[in-house]
Chains A and B, each alone.
Chain A
Amino acid sequence: MEFRIGQEMPLIKKLEILTDAAKYDVSCTSSGSRRSGDGTGIGNTVKAGICHSFSADGRCISLLKILLTNECIYDCKYCVNRCSNDVARASFTPEEVCRLTIEFYRRNYIEGLFLSSGIWQDPTFTMGMIYRTVLKLRKVYRFRGYIHVKAIPGADPEVVRLTGFLVDRMSVNLELPTAEGLSRLAPNKHRKTILTPMRQIQNGIVSSREEVALYRHAPSFVPAGQSTQMIIGATPEHDYQILSVAESLYRKFDLKRVFYSAFVRVNEDRELPALPGGPPLLREHRLYQADWLLRFYGFSADELLSEERPDFNLLLDPKADWAIRHLEQFPVEVNRASYERLLRVPGIGVKSARRIIQSRRSCALDFCHLKKMGIVLKRAQYFITCSGKMLYPVRMQEDYLARQLIDSRERLPFEADRVTYRQLSLFDDRRFVMDRQNFVRQAWT
């Protein structure tokens, strides 16, 4: 028989435990769904999403990100909630989740609810609890704000389907980029059980879109699309593998987003890598930058990385890195280049490229116009011409451009890499440093 101590705990304590347990989930966006209020309930959604606050780690707080329970029957090695860990356990009732969501929402603290859960008894039971909670929030509390829930791998497809009609976004965590990594660190999870609900949600979204096109008031299934997340740095995959997995997920599963989560070592386990420098945040940042290039800039994973060059250059953002390796394609003439070519210029984003295309219809643009439009000339100036002229005479040389493009605001690991692109200094000479240390040592003795 099982005994539980402290089952009746105050709401604030439960919130603390279940927020703490949910904080490693990264997909906290509230975008992709537009729904206006109905005049009697509470809430609406905005297509672009709204972040309501930013926590001390600089990540946005958009949704009330909690677990329904941190009880779990699985024993994933990287997870703080694994069954072999001795941590405080708690569970919310559906009523408590609804009350918290509504009270936070009406004060404009949050944009909606992000509900995940540990595996409670079995996957179908857990998914059922999530469904009951969301159903209550939608039907009893008339909540029309954003809801994101996790689809639990292995749960009955019917429960997943019913939940899909109530929420804006669903996600199934891929957890680790390769099946080998998954079997090593999450022995209870299998690639197949993860991909099955993903495919089910994808098919549901497609058929729902067709129904909505035919019957305007047909209920829409997961209107904000599905997402997933991968842990970066827990297993030895290269960036190329990770990005290729992301690319195939976008293509084959029509995912809205793939999130990358720098591995934080919360458990002591010999299978987990030691990270003396902390979580690989810069690597995560580069992957996000590359992810944007895949989704909005028309790049493919093979263009950015290859088997010979499987990891990103940590010193440069992937677009600038690609540009300096393809100098034969530059400079680009701003007044004539196509939208696709403009998008490949470092410092020109989707909005800027659109603005250039629209405003050059009435007059020839110069650098002054570009600056006022919001183009980042600091980076773009090396790769563009306006009416055939560059801003300054520039040496189109890889090392020179790399030095100019390195962003000193990023926390760059200059010491970790032999390539620095910096001007050689006397102190870079290893022999000089050795001599100096010897000199200091001798002076002390």
Chain B
Amino acid sequence: MEETILNCQDSAEGILTAVYRAYEWKLPRDRVSIRTGAVDLCLFASCRDVETRPDLAKKVSDTIKRRFGRQVWEDLSFAMAACDERKGTAVLRTIDLGLSGRIRGRLTQGLGEEWIRIVFELGRRVRNEYHRQQEFLRFRQAQEGYLFALTEPKEDVTAFLMPHFSDRLPMENFVIVDSLRGIAGVHPAGRPWVLLRLNEEEKGRMAGAAGHTSQEEAEAAELFRCFCRTVSIRERENPGLQRQHLPLRFRGTMTEFDPPG
């Protein structure tokens, strides 16, 4: 029997809608793959586009939470944020395995199954990136007084970062911009945060914000640079170890590694 490729939007809602459709259309799950983004055409596969429907995605997410628990839902959410072509199919097959009742204990811990292992790998990758962004993200204060952070994460983690920072800085106006994907998390002081897709003009404006920081910002940055410089012990210096913990790709947006002047 030929394979069916479901082509959906690259978001959690898009993938969950595709999962819903796979069951609704009674497609054999072992012959279905879900793709996000550009689809490679195959000779023996039929391709169907799936339009994102938040209500259907919610039904699937409710089922996952009810049947497998919140922890599994969290694991799958992290996996769906990965920048990897296999994520849609892996989520579908994992849900299918869970519904079949073959996995004992928590679904996402049945690492003997290949698709669950892929969900685990993707989830771990996203969790690691999320953790590193929590560490290395740097806010700068714009002249208007709000804080902004420009990030370039490997995985799509802005939606995970927002709850962390809005709990931490509830009375601050701040924006976290994912420059690679054109997504921004906006938190107005004392109010709930929102996630936006930026248009070209807004992207340009946010990229330019780095050049318009306040005087206070320059002083704080200088103090922190002085602190980082001084706290290192000369006799123990080890740039290799520093690079291992703090890879070079993060340093472009970090205040302490700003070029002098």
Contacts and interface: CB of A to CB of B under 8 A. Distances in A.
Interface in A319-365: 355, 358-365
A15 B223 contact: yes
B231 A361 contact: no
Contact of A362 (B110, B134, B222): B110
A-side binding surface: helix, strand, loop or mixed? loop
B118 to A, nearest CB: 9
Nearest to A37: B167
Contact of A52 (B111, B135, B170): B135
A358 B106 contact: yes
Interface string A200-238: 000000000000000000000000000000000000000
Given A59-B236, A359-B111, A12 B256 contact: no
Interface in A134-189: 145
Interface string A244-287: 00000000000000000010100000000000001101000000
B168 A107 contact: no
Nearest to A23: B231
B260 to A, nearest CB: 15
A123 B103 CA distance: 60
Contact of A281 (B109, B234, B236): B236
B171 interface: yes
A42 B220 contact: no
Interface residues of B, number: 59
Interface stretch (A43-51, A289-297, A298-306, A394-402): A43-51
A56 B232 contact: yes
Task: Please classify how large the interface on chain A is, using the bins under 10, 10 to 19, 20 to 34, 35 or more.
Answer: 35 or more
Nearest to A278: B235
Interface stretch (B58-66, B77-85, B138-146, B152-160): B138-146
Given A100-B223, A103-B220, A279-B235, A372 B111 contact: yes
Contacts of B230: 15-16, 19-20, 23
A58 interface: yes
B231 to A, nearest CB: 5
Contact of A359 (B110, B172, B226, B246): B110
B136 A52 contact: yes
B102 interface: yes
A46 B239 CA distance: 28
Interface of B: 102-106, 109-113, 117, 120-121, 131, 134-141, 147, 149, 165, 167-172, 190, 216, 220, 222-224, 226-228, 230-242, 244-246, 254-256
